[in-house]
Amino acid sequence: MPKSLFVEHLEQQENQEIEDLFVVAQVERRTTREGNPFLVARLKDRSGEIEAIAFDQVDHLEPRLERGQVVRIRGRVERFNQALRIKVLDAHPVPPQEIHLADFLPTTQRDVNQLLQKVRELLNTLRNPYLRKLFQVMLADEALVERLRLAPAATSYHHNYLGGLLEHTQNILRMADTLARVYPHLDRDLLLAGAFLHDIGKVEEYELTPAGIEITDRGRLLGHILLGVELLNRYAAQVPGFPGELLMRLQHMILSHHGELEWGSPVRPALVEAQVLHFLDNMDARIWMFAEAARHPRAPGSRWSEWWKPLGRMVFIPPPLNEETEDLFG
């Protein structure tokens, strides 16, 4: 059962009783001055966080409010010290299969099916039969496709939400498609294949739980570049006769896409398609960051953003020029 009531809506429920799913972000057992135990928790969903408190049935509730657990909370919204909180009346853990991750984690605002459709279309224009077969195999793997629908592109820097990887991948594929027209000497097949594969390791780099996006041990110890190469190897092994030379070039596309050693690629691009892929990857991430920064003006109405750390600068938020330019030939 999906959520209907989100933290951001609770303001309107003051003094009402509510019941819905939340994930327990933190929980602590404390004692009142009178010596009675009570529970203080932080409950979370994709829209925000709220404090929860339970004075009654503490021993009953405590094992149900474990950190990281999704629980159905019945409670009363009340205001305390100017802040809203939920007074917990009852709580029931929710089994994993009933949880919709997108209720708890921020999600792309794009339509994931459309993104996926566009990716399929572009991969369908490839001419090399082995590449065509490779992507048929990959996109026929339901588990992979499902992970691709969900994976974020990063935990913080850019596209850091469910579906972010797909959004990022689709952008790069579309740019790659048009670049191949501006520069006809590029190997279009290789460029688009690389665009699809470059971050594929991220489906194994992140672990998605209602409580947040975590990096897996393999993600930290091996990195998504190696994970991507290994994943490519596994699928290529399912295509009979997949040429070793082609596999090597695809591996190189993944390995070198960070562009420079100091950005985590163990080899630098030796193919122009690999170099181009690196630029497209970097450019899409930067465009995202500028847009994100522009959503954070340093003061209401300011033409400048906050100091934006991922960019190391403030970003200009230009007002439209329309008015002043209208009358030139008027």
Residue 171 to residues 37, 151, 167, 287, Cα–Cα distance (Å): 53, 15, 6, 11
Question: In angstroms, what is the minimal distance from the CB of 157 to a second copy?
Answer: 15
Q: Which lies closer to a second copy via its Cβ, residue 34 or residue 245? A: 245
Q: Which lies closer to a second copy via its Cβ, residue 15 or residue 97? A: 15
Q: Which lies closer to a second copy via its Cβ, residue 151 or residue 229? A: 229
Question: In angstroms, what is the minimal distance from the CB of 282 to a second copy?
Answer: 7
Strand 48-54 and strand 83-93: the pairing is: parallel
H-only helix segments in the chain:
58-61, 101-104, 112-123, 129-140, 142-150, 164-182, 188-197, 202-205, 217-236, 244-255, 272-294, 322-325
Q: Give CA–CA dist 111/50, Å, rounded.
A: 29
Question: In angstroms, what is the minimal distance from the CB of 97 to a second copy?
Answer: 25
Q: Which lies closer to a second copy via its Cβ, residue 63 or residue 129? A: 129
- Residue 290 neighbours by CB under 8 Å, 6+ apart: 311, 315
Write the Ramachandran bin of 281: left for phi over 0, alpha for psi from -120 to 50, otherwise beta: alpha
Q: Which lies closer to a second copy via its Cβ, residue 34 or residue 142? A: 34
* Residue 80: strand pairing partners: 83
Question: In angstroms, what is the minimal distance from the CB of 92 to a second copy?
Answer: 25
Q: Which of 110, 112, 114, 136 is nearest to 193 (CA)?
A: 136
Q: Which lies closer to a second copy via its Cβ, residue 112 or residue 255? A: 255
Question: In angstroms, what is the minimal distance from the CB of 74 to a second copy?
Answer: 29
Question: In angstroms, what is the minimal distance from the CB of 49 to a second copy?
Answer: 18
Taking only Cα atoms into account, the Rg of the chain, rounded to an integer number of angstroms, comes to: 24
Q: Give CA–CA dist 170/161, Å, rounded.
A: 15
Question: In angstroms, what is the minimal distance from the CB of 80 to a second copy?
Answer: 13
Name residue 166's amino acid. L
Strand 17-31 and strand 37-45: the pairing is: antiparallel
Q: Which lies closer to a second copy via its Cβ, residue 83 or residue 321? A: 321
- Residue 208 neighbours by CB under 8 Å, 6+ apart: 101, 105, 150, 151, 152, 162
